[in-house]
Chain A
Amino acid sequence: MTTRAADRPDSAERLAGRPAPPAAAQLKSRHLLGIAGLDADEITLILDTAEAMKEIGGRAIKKVPTLRGRTVVNLFFEPSTRTRTSFEIAEKRLSADTLSIATATSSVTKGETLVDTVRNLEAMSPDMIVMRHASSGAPDLLARICRSTIINAGDGMHEHPTQALLDAFTIRSHKGRLAGLKVAIVGDLLHSRVLRSNVLLLKTMGAEVWACGPSTLIPPGLERLGARPTTSVDDAVRDADVVMLLRIQHERMQGHFIPSVREYFALFGMTPERVRRAREDVIVMHPGPMNRGVEIDSEVADGPYSVILEQVSNGVAVRMAVLYLLSGREGRDDESPGEGR
Chain B
Amino acid sequence: MFKGFDSKRRGILSTFLGFGILLPQTSASIAFETSQSTTINDPAPGFDELWHTVMVDISVMGVIFAAITIYFMFKYRRKHPDQVGDAPKMSAAQAVGWALIPAFIFMADDFYLAAKGWQLWNKFREVPADRMEVKLESGMYSWDYTYPNGVRTQNKLRVPAGKPIMLRMTSRDTIHSHYLAKYRVKEDSMPGRVTYLWFYPKEEDIGDRDNLVTCTEYCGVMHSYMVGRVEVMPAVEFMRWYKQEESKLSQNNNNAEDNSTATATNIILEQEV
A associates with B:
no
